[in-house]
Structure 1
């Protein structure tokens, strides 16, 4: 939406990064069966802008699991409304730690 963009019509990187964090959090919660907190974001790369009106698809994949944490690779792709081709626009690695009801680290359940 226009409120999420700069005067040139490019979507704010922080808005896109927030969606990527949500996608990574969903992947962490499914794999770890519970609550997780973001503790780090590495290697964010913004390859090209997302424009107002573009469709954005976000894909997240768990790439490693430790005792209480996991790393998740996330990609954001854009598609112009009138096109079929999708383009990679942003990627990064999000690290999450599993937390219990007291917000203390807890073990990630085995597969």
Structure 2
């Protein structure tokens, strides 16, 4: 068990539903991956000042299962900026149980996005 990170606020908060479970009753890993990609893409697009495309999932670790009813908070930050690419770290925390709420870091991932123009071709990352 852990506490929420010290980031100012989550990029995304979402609660998985029964339609998001796998055959074992846990939330499907692919659903979590999609949420992570959305959160990472928001941060990358802000830094890119425009459109980005996911080019790599560098690391993805599932630490604990996610259950129906968990409230997920996704925190993301830029960890590297290249000429056309932006690498983002995403951490996912689950809040579980009322009134005795427990907080778990359930997933962590690192993804790389490439800045693209309207022509969908790579473009340089703008200066901050």
TM over 0.5: yes
Query: What secondary structure sits across from 1:6 in the alignment?
Result: coil
Which residue in the other structure is 1:94 paired with? 111
Matches within 5 A, 1:58-69: 58-69=74-85
Gaps of 5+ in 2: 1-16
TM-score, structure 1 normalization: 0.95
Residues 54-87 of structure 1, C-alpha deviations (whole Å, 9 max, x = no match): 1000011000101100100001110114143311
Which residue in the other structure is 1:3 paired with? 19
Q: Distance in 1 between matches of 2:104 and 2:85?
A: 30
When the two chains are superposed, the root-mean-square deviation of aligned CA atoms in Å is 1.0
Which residue in the other structure is 2:124 paired with? 107
Q: Distance in 2 between matches of 1:20 and 1:81?
A: 23
Which consecutive segments of 4 or more residues in structure 1 shift more than 3 A? none
TM-score, structure 2 normalization: 0.83
Gaps of 5+ in 1: none
Query: What secondary structure sits across from 2:58 in the alignment?
Result: strand
Which residue in the other structure is 1:74 paired with? 90
| Preserved contact between residue 47 and residue 90 of structure 1 (Cα < 8 Å) | yes
* More moved, 60-69 vs 1-10: 1-10
- Corresponding residue pairs, total: 111
